A and B are shown apart, each in its own frame.
Chain A
Amino acid sequence: MTALRTIIIDDEPDSVNLLKLQLTQHCPQVELVGSYTSSVKALQNIETLGPDLLFLDVEMPVMNGFEILEKILHLNFSIVFVTAYNQFALKAFRFNALDYLVKPIDTNELIEAVAKAEKRIKPTSTQLSMLQKQLRGEAVTKIAIPGTHGVTFIDLNEIVFSEASNNYSKLVLTDGRHFLISKTLKDVQEVLEEEHFLRVHRQYIINLNHVKQFNRNEGILTMSNGQHIPIARNQKEHLIEKYRWL
């Protein structure tokens, strides 16, 4: 097994030192080839070093983590984003199925992230460009679904609804395809709720653009694919508000 050539970029010396320490204690497969507290210096060396894995702090002066990525031409290494606190970025990571760790870093999560990097799973250019787009505040059109062989992107308009099943969620698409993802409906809701989606029931999140009919008396929605979906009583008002139904 070849060593995992790793770089750490974080503007705080303490953070760099702690991560170094955690890696040497818990991840023997990691070979640290560079660590930087200045994003400018890091950028100068990153491509010549050719790492397998990059731990990248999000908030940094002069150039933040995302800006560094924008400037790297050949992005052929795994990335684990690190952040102390940035809800906005966290949401974007989840949406695009990118790996991230929060400070102080939990040892188990670190081990898991490194193990994943060992499988040489690299972020695709679509994933990164979607991330940039989202961080710039542009409208989100796709969601990344991680699978065993990498990431699949699904157009938000293709999703008719999402249904909970235990600790998994099922995405039902317009063409009849189903996707099972290892996330709870709560997680899916968090990702989708700012778009045109609404959780109408404990078990369902629907795409508001795919509603065909609303039976008010029985509280049942008919979706564009013919599927009937029940509405929780307390969500009825919500739905009416969203549609301005009378």
Chain B
Amino acid sequence: MQYKSLFIFRVIFFLLVSAEDVPAQYERFLDSLRNDLANTKNDTSRASKLNILSYAALDPKEQLDYAQRALAISEKTGYKKGQGDALNNIGYVYQNEGEIAKAMECFQRAYEINTVIKNQNGIAASLNNVGFIYYHIGDVTKGLDYFQRGLLIMEKIKDIESQLGVGALLNNIAIIHQKQKNYLKAIEYHEKSLKVREEVNDSIGIAATLLNLAGIYKDQGDILKGMQYAKKSLKIITSIGEKEGIASSQAGIGSIYEAEDSLLQALHYYQKALHLDEELGNKKEIAAVLGHLGNILLKQKKFEEAEKYCSRSLQLSKELGFPEYISRSSEWLSQVYKAEGKYKEAYDMQILFKQYSDSTVNTANTKKLTQLQMQYDFNKQADSLKGQEQITGEQLKQQVLLGKQQRQQLQLNQKELDLSNKEKDLQKLAYLKTQADLQNEQLGKKEKEKQLTISEKEKQLQLAKVKALTQEKTLSLLKQQQQWFYILGGLILFGLGSLYFFYRTRLHESRLKTEIAAERLEQHQKEAEFQRQLGDISLSALRSQMNPHFIFNCLNSIKLYTTQNDTLAASEYLTKFSRLIRLVLENSRNDRITLTSELDALRLYMEMETMRFKEKLKYNIAVEKDVDLDYIEIPPLLLQPYVENAIWHGLMQKEEGGRIDITVAMEQNESMLAVNIIDNGIGRARAAELKSKTATKHKSYGMKVTSERLALINQIYKSGANVTIQDLADDKGQPSGTRVTIKIPLV
């Protein structure tokens, strides 16, 4: 979710190496950086290299250590860029550990330093990081403001480093919209971010964006798509070996399984994520994952464990001070308490939840947010007129003024909006001015300090030299005596060391071997499972169209007409019936069939159902003019089960019957086929109620219209079809039927 000031180096690395065995290669790359550092004597380069290492290192402790060393050297030598970068990197580590105040201080100092030396990328990075903290303490409007300011700066730079930053900022803006449940905007920004990240090959960023998109799809109820995106994300991030990202993706997959109520799977992924997060000491993620785990244990009725997890989650959330986390954990804990019958505690938690949930998502925030968004778009327009620019305190002042003038000319009729803008600009100006004054002052002070320390140090150096000369003599004497000691001690140490090393490699090897064996086994099982499902689906697909119940009832009707000597009706019925059987058998043999074939089968099927139920069933199929029926191909046996479902569970449950309307149209520049199946039956809620009343175990035509079936069809026929089901209501809000929309991407 967040990026550090120096992203360029890791990316360059990934452009260089091949895909195989990336984690090991990455370790080697880090080693080469470390060696490089050891051979560098110049302080400025040492500071830069330490910063690079801090960014590149995967272990948070290492990250912090390198950054602090970079900061110390940079401060000693007055290397400003080094200081700014180091502060951003230190803040990043603090922030992950939940040390919000410390992190904020670092980012603000980094911002000040970068402004002084006009390091645009650094300024934007600091703005982003400050925004991130605001976001996490629940002030989303401020967060968004900072992100957008960072974006404005970075979009103008166009080097790789800033491109990476733009990707991250777009991502962060998207997340804010996501949190405000403004999904359309969120998807828009994520897609922008994905585009930028793909351009610069930012694999970690791509994985993060995919994961975020997965979250949106999950929230929207499209479990299937969510799972696809999350798994893709995990695949990418695993190939890189970045543990933080791997943990996030695993938790993401867990949450999707959780939403689907596949508790065991969810538990499995969350535990994997927790393991990694604990290894990394990433409190933020630990808090979240613990809460989810508690919630699942609650569903499994393991109350004691659930309480343990949820209270640990709450404890951590309180330490972090993130309102969103506190509200979530307290709600879960409240539910656990309730289930345990501890009503007093449950009530307390509910109050905590209320208190904190108000501060995270509320309508006032959302409103403010859209205003900010408008203002940002507006500023951007005005800015693009100004062209390239540099932002020192003074120049920015001029440019803002210039922009304001242009704006006034352009927007004479929008006086009200303008007024508020002016006010904001004024505030900005005042802020920037005091900022500049402050920095000048600080700069002066630091310069003096530096000179003082330098002369001080020189004195110390000379004193030390004299001391060293006298000491050298006594030392050489002592050395001779100690030599024997050293040789003996060295031998013993070497022996012990090699023993330990030998043992360790053995242990590691055997562990690796068992892991590989386990993975292979899992792979085999998955394959077998897929094969089994493949067989199942072809069979069930055929059976769903050739429902024996349907077949025998048709034959029964034919028998009636022959018994009545109504040869015309009997012959007509028989002809239709055989045509339908022939079509279904033919269609089920092909991977793809023309829309004409599918609709013919569907029409025949509905005609036969109409004949069975007489005036109780009416239907219509409407195809838009631009749909090329003989050219478009879709997977076979896709539509009929939904129609059958609508008839049996929607229409036939009504005494007077009903009608089915099927519409076929093109969407999205003819790249998508949309089929609507609309019935005016009793609706899903009532149907489910009736179903639950039925005590009998079997359901011969209870067609399973599940995402599972569609997923398998997609897998087997390599299509990306998706289904949304919408409950319809009349003017009075009473259920008035169901609309099933099937969207099939056309290749």
Contact = CB atoms under 8 A, between A and B. Distances in A.
B698 interface: yes
Interface residue range, chain B: 20 to 34
Contact of A104 (B559, B690, B697): B559
B563 A18 contact: yes
B259 interface: no
B79 interface: no
A59 interface: yes
Interface in B546-602: 548-549, 551-553, 555-557, 559-560, 563-564
Given A38-B655, A84-B552, A86-B549, A14 B694 contact: no
Contacts of A136: 695-697
Interface string A53-71: 0000001011010110010
Contact of B560 (A18, A64, A135): A18
Tell me what chain B mostly uses at the interface: helix, strand, loop, or mixed.
Answer: helix
A38 B655 CA distance: 7
Nearest to A107: B563
A135 B695 CA distance: 8
Contact of A103 (B553, B652, B700, B701): B553
Contacts of A103: 552-553, 555-556
Instruction: Tell me which of A22, A38, A85, A88 has the highest count of chain B C-beta atoms within 10 A of its own C-beta.
Output: A85
A232 interface: no
A11 B612 CA distance: 9
Nearest to A61: B652
B557 A22 contact: no
A141 interface: no
B649 to A, nearest CB: 8
Interface in B677-699: 690, 694-698
A21 B564 contact: yes
Nearest to B701: A59
A12 B698 contact: no
Contacts of B653: 61-62
A137 B696 CA distance: 7
Interface in B33-69: none
B695 A104 contact: no
Interface in A33-76: 38, 40, 59, 61-62, 64, 66-67, 70
B556 A18 contact: yes
B378 interface: no
B511 to A, nearest CB: 34
B556 A14 contact: yes
Interface in A1-50: 11-15, 17-18, 21-22, 25, 38, 40
Contact of B552 (A11, A40, A104, A135): A104
A25 B614 CA distance: 25
Given A11-B652, A64-B694, A136-B695, A102 B552 contact: yes
B542 to A, nearest CB: 15
Contacts of A15: 553, 556-557, 560
Contacts of B549: 59, 84-86
B648 interface: yes
A189 interface: no
Contacts of A137: 697
A153 B547 CA distance: 35
Nearest to B558: A104
A184 interface: no
B737 to A, nearest CB: 16
Contacts of B696: 64, 66-67, 135-136
A222 interface: no
Nearest to B615: A13
Nearest to A57: B553
B560 A84 contact: no
A84 B700 CA distance: 11
B613 interface: yes
Contacts of B556: 12, 14-15, 18, 84, 103-105
B660 to A, nearest CB: 15
Given A13-B614, A14-B612, A21-B560, A59 B700 contact: yes
Nearest to A16: B560
Given A12-B612, A62-B690, A85-B548, A132 B695 contact: yes
Contacts of B555: 103-104
A89 interface: yes
A84 B652 CA distance: 17
A84 B648 CA distance: 16
Nearest to A18: B560
Contacts of B697: 88, 135-137
A38 B557 CA distance: 18
A89 B695 contact: no
A105 B563 CA distance: 12
Interface in B5-57: none
A12 B552 contact: no
Interface string B126-155: 000000000000000000000000000000
Instruction: Tell me which of A21, A66, A104 has the highest count of chain B C-beta atoms within 10 A of its own C-beta.
Output: A104
A38 B559 CA distance: 22
Contacts of B552: 84-85, 102-104
Contacts of A40: 655
Nearest to B561: A14
Nearest to A11: B652
Contact of B700 (A11, A22, A85): A85
B694 to A, nearest CB: 7
B563 A22 contact: yes
Interface in A146-194: none
A113 to B, nearest CB: 16
Given A12-B553, A104-B555, A104-B559, A89 B612 contact: no
A17 B560 contact: yes
Contact of A18 (B559, B612, B698): B559
Contacts of A22: 563
Interface in B689-719: 690, 694-698, 700-701
A22 B559 CA distance: 11
Contacts of A21: 560, 563-564
B111 to A, nearest CB: 67
A25 B695 CA distance: 37
A17 B698 CA distance: 28
Interface in B183-206: none
Nearest to B614: A13
A88 B611 CA distance: 27
Interface string B606-620: 000001111000000
Given A12-B613, A13-B614, A86 B560 contact: no
B700 A14 contact: no
A79 to B, nearest CB: 16
B679 to A, nearest CB: 13
A182 to B, nearest CB: 27
Interface string A137-149: 1000000000000
A59 to B, nearest CB: 6
B220 to A, nearest CB: 32
Interface of B: 548-549, 551-553, 555-557, 559-560, 563-564, 611-614, 648, 652-653, 655, 690, 694-698, 700-701
Q: Which 4 pairs show the lowest CB-CB distances between chains A and B?
A: A137-B697, A61-B652, A84-B552, A18-B560
Given A18-B563, A66-B696, 11 more contacts: A11-B613, A12-B556, A14-B612, A21-B560, A21-B564, A84-B553, A88-B700, A103-B556, A104-B555, A104-B559, A136-B696
Interface of A: 11-15, 17-18, 21-22, 25, 38, 40, 59, 61-62, 64, 66-67, 70, 84-86, 88-89, 102-105, 132, 135-137
18 contacts: A11-B613, A13-B613, A14-B557, A15-B556, A15-B560, A17-B560, A18-B559, A21-B564, A22-B563, A59-B549, A59-B701, A64-B696, A66-B696, A67-B694, A84-B553, A85-B548, A88-B700, A103-B556
